[in-house]
Homo-oligomer: A and B are copies of this chain.
Amino acid sequence: MAVYNVTEQMAKEALHDSVFRSIMACTCQLCQDDALAIALNRLPVRYVATQQGEAYVKANYMQPQLQSDVLRELTRAAQVVSANPRHEQATGGTSQSNG
């Protein structure tokens, strides 16, 4: 089944942006996944079937409001995760910061 959430794609692309690398105390996979999940649960969902998807993603990507919503929620989520990283419980080690 070929449906996907355009907001998810935009958030994943935005998370690769250097601005989040500098905000996040740690950029390990667990911290990135947690930040992404926290942000996506606070963002409007936009599912499309694949055929329409490509055109819809491009059109949406130009929409300033959705972009700023994604950046706002990712910033907030990055701070939440940096303050309470789960990886410490998982690995018992200190946070692997990419300083």
Q: Give chain A's interface residues, CB within 8 Å of chain B.
A: 1-3, 5, 8, 12, 15, 29-30, 32-34, 36-37, 40-41, 43, 45-51, 90
Contacts and interface: CB of A to CB of B under 8 A. Distances in A.
Nearest to A40: B47
Complex copy number for this chain: 2
Contacts of A5: 5, 8, 40, 45
Nearest to A90: B51
Contacts of A33: 1-3, 49-50
28 contacts: A1-B15, A1-B32, A1-B36, A2-B29, A2-B33, A3-B8, A3-B36, A3-B37, A3-B40, A5-B5, A5-B8, A5-B40, A5-B45, A8-B47, A30-B49, A30-B51, A33-B49, A34-B49, A36-B47, A36-B49, A37-B47, A37-B48, A37-B49, A40-B45, A40-B47, A41-B46, A43-B45, A45-B45
Contacts of A41: 45-47
A3 B31 CA distance: 11
